[in-house]
Amino acid sequence: MVTIDPPGQVSAVRKQVGALWSRLLSLVYPPVCLGCSVIMARHGGLCPTCWSGAEFIERPYCEVLGVPFAHDQGEGAISPAALAEPPDYHRARAVMLYGDIAASLVHRLKYNDRLDLASIMAAWMVRAGDGLVEKADVIVPIPLHRLRLLSRRYNQSAELSRALARLTGKPHGIGLLVRRRQTRQQVGLGEKARQRNVRGAFVVPDAVKADVTGKRVLLVDDVYTTGATVNAAARALKRAGVADVTVLTFARVPDP
């Protein structure tokens, strides 16, 4: 079944309830650093040590791949990698490079049932998007195959995209992109093996092609490694008539 979550409007009552819940939560669970669990003044942050260790991606960076440059290359600069092998999406952005802090947050969201991290990570992703989230028509997560979803119980990419939709009021397209065959896990595979693994794995169902034709899609995943997964997904979206694909991830590996 395909569902598109409607844009959310947070009422004054819900804000008050949220503030009250945060105060109660602080009494039961003292606020700690998301990176190392040291006691903090408030929930949802990093201590100074972890903050300095997190490699946030800031300009200047490649306008296509989102990979940071060592030096300013000028407005609209594109990296040699993007010129030599243009991706199937139009542009990619990420919050931080995949290091110890990013790995810890992603791992806890993905494997340790820390779904509360999704809203915090999504807020950072909106900032990293630099206005691209607001320009999207619909937010679509990288889907899991239904059998893997049953074993894992939730899709971390969908949790991030759902949080992004709630923060921005954008439609959340669940079911607009599906993984039609179960693929091997990408961890441990080389670049070419990753590409073969996900080739043809994604499709936009015929019943919902009209919902994406001509639209600007924000494609969400947790980590960008070689780009094989998001490229395969972007090809499926473009075959269905999507006009523009922006990839937004929490972290990315700078040199796979």
List the domain boundaries for the chain: 3-11+56-252
User: What is the C-alpha separation between 123 and 100, in angstroms, rounded?
Assistant: 20
User: What is the C-alpha separation between 230 and 90, in angstroms, rounded?
Assistant: 11
User: What is the C-alpha separation between 102 and 252, in angstroms, rounded?
Assistant: 9
pLDDT attached to residue 125: 97
* pTM of the predicted structure, to 2 decimals: 0.85
- Kindly state the average pLDDT of the residues 19-45: 71
Other beta carbons less than 10 A from residue 126's beta carbon = 18
Of the candidate CATH numbers 2.20.110, 3.40.50, 1.20.1530, 1.10.3470, the domain formed by 3-11+56-252 belongs to: 3.40.50
pLDDT tens figures, 171-197: 999 999 998 866 656 665 666 666 666
Question: DSSP characters for 36-73?
Answer: T--B-SSSS---HHHHHHS-B--SSB-TTT-PBPSS--
* Distance between first and last Cα of the chain: 36
- The answer, yes or no, to whether residue 3 has pLDDT greater than 60, is no
Longest dimension (CA), the chain: 54
The alpha carbon of 119 is separated from its chain's Cα centroid by a whole number of angstroms, namely 11
pLDDT attached to residue 4: 56
pLDDT tens figures, 113-168: 889 899 999 999 999 999 999 999 999 999 988 777 777 788 999 999 999 999 99
Q: Is the peptide bond before 31 cis (omega within 30 degrees of 0)?
A: no
Beta bridge partners of 246: 91, 218
Is 191 in a helix, a strand, or coil? Answer: helix
User: What is the C-alpha separation between 256 and 248, in angstroms, rounded?
Assistant: 17
- Cβ atoms of 209 and 217 within 8 Å: the answer is no
Q: Where are the alpha helices (DSSP H) in the chain?
A: 12-28, 48-53, 80-84, 100-111, 117-129, 132-135, 146-152, 156-168, 191-198, 209-212, 228-239
Is 104 in a helix, a strand, or coil? Answer: helix
